[in-house]
């Protein structure tokens, strides 16, 4: 068979199940691709060839035995290094966890294993998922396969780059304020933030507990839906897990729930226009026109509280991170610095945290600690939670009128590495359009909408009501088909092969 790294997840699962190729052959092809390209892309922090091939062999044995195979059995996957996995280090992109090997699997990892998904390794990320560019990793930057001088998004930039570079047909990221959708947009792939509580957070190292959510990154809407279904479902080990059936995301992605004809689509006026690059706005406008041509009723929707999403998010998430990251103290696991026999416990903790945490993590811990401090709690954290309530009411009012909301995913295409490194506010603005649905808790998808400024990918965002995840897949699948007919194939077919033999 021709290059196996060109196949999507659904195609790969089909050829493995049919016996056309073995899961070992598929895994080997992707491991070789990683070996050939990752010196330049740097999507992965850890790859264990032996462990990966052992997983692949188990799928081949199950097939030989006549055992039923899962819908993604034998499909390779890149796992963001914020999920625990026995036998592999979990660093969260931070020095403070360098070398830590967890004694347990995250629920998501358990479900991947049960479904026969083959984990290739752990991917690079902004430290503790704090960032929009994957420049905040303690282990070096990841590069965008479309243009090696550009960022791949963040914080799940390693996962998005791995999929775009054909190192893996599937990846898992986490989304706190846009960290799946924004990387997907700037690397030209599909990324989905499920409804909060739809995917277990057990074994996901917490940044902001009321916002963090794992989700799929893939080359197509169907591939994302297949992974979503494998990952999702109630987990009694996660107190925030929704005890309800997984929405019919695969049926929606296959078009079994219908297309967009007759659906009502709301264009959010606050999430477009000024501040959005001309190419981004142009691709978005074309996508909206395409929805109309497919039979959707498109209306303008105003969500005035969305204007305050960014300041609200940057009070709520740092406050929660300030609490969650207090456990990393050099006493129980990970890095311990300054333990020379002379320093006391408090000194060792202070030295360890000063050495182990990077600048962005320190910045957010300080912001959050200040916002939670006596005398300031009501003025900052309390006010931000009130804004969050207003944002939720805006969404609820909108979904009483329309089925889905649409916007650009990001205001710009991928920006140059280093351009915003010293300007946190400019960096934070990369998530302007993705923050509202994170604060609300509803599902959202980024879908490739074409090429914009500098001939780089643009994403369009689809948002739906809580536990209506199938809606974004239904609209996403219809749009994907129409857009690919326009382009003559998937957008990723247009990616330049820069990563092989490239020098940086």
Within 13 Å, how many C-alpha atoms sit on residue 155's CB side?
30
What the block records as the tokens of 91 is: 């660093």
Residue pair 14/73 in contact (Cβ under 8 Å)? The answer is: no
DSSP 8-class letter at 413? S
Of the residues 155, 160, 208, 241, which is catalytic? Answer: 155
pLDDT in tens, 434-478: 999 999 999 999 999 999 999 999 999 999 999 999 999 999 999
For residue range 246-287, list pLDDT tens digits in order: 999 999 999 999 999 999 999 999 999 888 999 999 999 999
Task: Decide if 122 is catalytic.
Answer: no
Q: For residues 470 and 402, is the Cβ–Cβ distance under 8 A? A: no
Instruction: Name residue, tokens 């805006």.
Output: 394
pTM, two decimal places: 0.97
Question: Per CATH, is 4-305+389-494 categorized as 1.10.340.30?
Answer: no
In this prediction, residues 337-348 reach a mean pLDDT of: 86
**179 is known as an active-site residue:** yes
Return the percentage of the chain with pLDDT > 90, whole number.
89
Q: What's the pLDDT at 504?
A: 45
Tokens of 273: 């226009």
How many CA within 13 A on the CB side of residue 126? Answer: 31
Judge whether residue 139 has pLDDT over 70. yes
**DSSP codes joined into one string, 362-414:** HHHHHHHHHHHSTTTTIIIIIHHHHHHHHHHHHHHHHHTT-SEEEEES-SSSP
* Residue of 377 and 22 predicted with greater confidence: 22
Confidence of residue 177 (pLDDT cuts 50, 70, 90): very high
Say whether 192 sits in a helix, a strand or coil: strand
- The pLDDT of residue 2: 63
Say which of 179, 322, 437, 446 is annotated catalytic. Answer: 179
Cα–Cα distance, 336 to 340 (Å, whole number) = 10
Give residue 403's pLDDT: 98
Q: What pLDDT, in 10s, does the model give residues 54-67?
A: 999 999 999 999 99
To the query of whether residue 503 is one of the catalytic residues in this protein, the response is no
Mean pLDDT of the chain: 96
Q: What pLDDT, in 10s, does the model give residues 103-131?
A: 999 999 999 999 999 999 999 999 999 99
Indicate which residue of 80, 95, 122, 193 is catalytic: 80
Where in the chain are the domains? Answer: 4-305+389-494
């Amino acid at each position: 068979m021709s290059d196996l790294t060109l196949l999507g997840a659904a195609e790969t699962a089909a050829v493995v199940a049919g016996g056309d190729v073995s899961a070992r052959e598929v895994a080997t092809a992707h491991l070789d691709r990683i070996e050939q390209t990752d010196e330049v892309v740097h999507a992965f922090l850890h790859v264990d060839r032996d462990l990966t091939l052992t997983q692949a062999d188990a799928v081949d044995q199950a097939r030989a035995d006549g055992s039923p195979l899962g819908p993604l059995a034998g499909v390779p996957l890149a796992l963001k290094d914020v999920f625990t996995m026995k036998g592999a280090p979990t660093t969260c992109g931070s020095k403070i966890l360098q070398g830590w090997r967890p004694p347990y699997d995250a629920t998501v990892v358990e479900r991947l294993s049960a479904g026969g998904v083959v984990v290739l390794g752990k991917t690079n990320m902004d430290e503790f998922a704090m960032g929009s560019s994957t420049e905040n990793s303690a282990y070096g930057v990841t590069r965008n396969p479309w243009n090696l001088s550009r960022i791949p998004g963040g914080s799940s930039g390693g996962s998005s780059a791995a999929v775009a570079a054909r190192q893996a047909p599937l990846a898992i990221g986490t989304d706190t304020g846009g960290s799946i959708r924004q990387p997907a947009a700037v690397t030209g792939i599909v990324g989905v933030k499920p409804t909060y509580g739809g995917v277990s957070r057990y074994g996901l190292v917490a940044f902001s507990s009321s916002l963090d959510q794992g989700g799929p990154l893939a080359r197509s809407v169907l591939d994302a839906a297949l992974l979503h279904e494998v990952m999702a479902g109630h987990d009694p080990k996660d107190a925030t897990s929704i005890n309800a059936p997984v929405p019919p995301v695969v049926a929606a992605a296959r078009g079994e729930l219908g297309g967009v004809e007759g659906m009502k689509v709301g264009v959010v006026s606050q999430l477009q226009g000024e501040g959005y690059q001309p190419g981004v706005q142009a691709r978005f406008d074309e996508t909206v026109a395409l929805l109309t041509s497919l039979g959707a009723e498109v209306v303008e929707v105003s969500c005035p509280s969305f204007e305050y999403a960014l300041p609200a998010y940057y009070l709520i998430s740092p406050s929660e991170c300030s609490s969650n990251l207090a456990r990393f103290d050099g006493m129980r696991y990970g890095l311990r610095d300054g333990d020379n026999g002379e320093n006391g416990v408090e000194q060792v903790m202070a030295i360890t945290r000063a050495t182990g945490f990077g600048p962005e993590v320190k910045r957010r811990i300080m912001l959050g600690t200040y916002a939670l401090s006596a005398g300031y709690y009501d003025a900052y954290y309390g006010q931000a939670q009130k804004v969050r309530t207003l944002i939720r009411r805006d969404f609820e009012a909108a979904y009483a009128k329309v089925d889905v909301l649409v916007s650009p995913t990001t205001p710009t295409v991928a920006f140059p590495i280093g351009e915003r490194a010293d300007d946190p506010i400019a960096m934070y603005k990369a998530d302007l359009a993705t923050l509202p649905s994170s604060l609300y808790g509803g599902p959202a998808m980024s879908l490739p909408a074409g090429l914009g400024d500098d001939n780089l990918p643009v994403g369009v965002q689809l948002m739906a009501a809580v536990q209506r995840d199938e809606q974004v897949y239904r609209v996403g699948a219809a749009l994907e088909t129409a857009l690919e007919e326009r382009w003559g194939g998937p957008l990723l077919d247009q990616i330049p092969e820069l990563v092989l033999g490239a020098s940086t």
